[in-house]
Amino acid sequence: MKIEILGVGCPKCKQLTVNVEAAVKELNLQAEIGKVTDIDKITEYGVMMTPALAVDGIVVSAGKVLNKDEIKKIIAK
Amino acid sequence: MAGNCMCNEAGVLIFPCSGGSDVGELSDRVARKMAKCGQAKMFCLAGVGAHIPGMIESTKAANKIIAIDGCQVLCSKKILEHAGFNPVSFNLKEMGFEKGKTQLTEEIIEKAANKISGGKSEETFSRNSGGCCGN
């Protein structure tokens, strides 16, 4: 599983990254966590509101800092 | 770096039908004018219609979604509804702009923009109203 946090690096993006890492750890998943900070790449995903979250290349959330439990529900599917 | 941060509140997103007719173009010009004036952010109806996940998720972050349609076919409203959204709908025909008989002058664009934002500015655009720049 590849999880990407899309955002240019503001505190909200950093918080989402922390929450993703915590969710992955709690689920004991093997996941590659990456950050997409290039604004051109972010817009290529169709994302206009950050932070956004993509799982295996599909955007699953935008404009929200999902909490750990919300992330767990998404990546556990 | 957090330059060009896109994490501000989504606010009001506006989706014109941008159709091929004069009133379709008017919807587009009105939306661009309102975006330029800070009353709403213009967004991509085509992206929503194509179910681009990033576009859909970005639209979900909006405080309010506005559809501007040039005629009674209401393509913008219907595309948004098909994607699961519940937009506030404005039909330019109901505002007196007739397909095939509408000239795209600055005066007409201003008039249409005022009809959409005027009177409903506080309710509809409360989250993102900067007032009109008057250009």
CA distance B135 to B50: 33
Catalytic residue among A1, A8, A10, A49, which?
Answer: A10
pLDDT for the residue B42: 93
Q: Is B126 in contact with B12 (CB distance < 8 Å)?
A: no
The answer to whether the bond into A11 is cis (omega within 30° of 0) is no
Query: For residue A63, what is the nearest residue in chain B, using CA coordinates?
Result: B61
Whether the pTM exceeds 0.95: the reply is: no
Mutation choice for A interface testing from B41, B58, B60 by most A CBs within 10 A: B58
Count A/B contacts: CB-CB distance under 8 Å: 74
CB B94 within 8 A of CB B115: no
What is residue B126's predicted lDDT score, i.e. its pLDDT? 46
Enumerate domains of chain A plus CATH numbers.
Answer: 2-75 (3.40.30.10)
Distance, in Å, from the CA atom of A59 to the CA atom of B69, rounded to the nearest integer, reads 28
How sure is the predictor about B127, in pLDDT bands with cuts at 50, 70 and 90? very low
Span B56-112, pLDDT tens digits = 999 999 999 999 999 999 999 999 999 999 999 999 999 999 999 999 999 999 999
For A14, the enclosing helix (H) or strand (E) is helix A11-27
Task: Report the distance separating Cα A47 and Cα A15, nearest Å.
Answer: 18
Contact A42, A51 (CB under 8 A): no
> Given a cut of 50, is residue B1 above it in pLDDT?
no
Q: Is A34 in the B-facing interface, judged by CB distances under 8 Å?
A: no
Task: Place B9 in a pLDDT band, splitting at 50, 70 and 90.
Answer: confident
Give the amino acid at B47: G
pLDDT in tens, A5-30: 999 988 999 999 999 999 999 999 99
pLDDT confidence of residue B19: 96
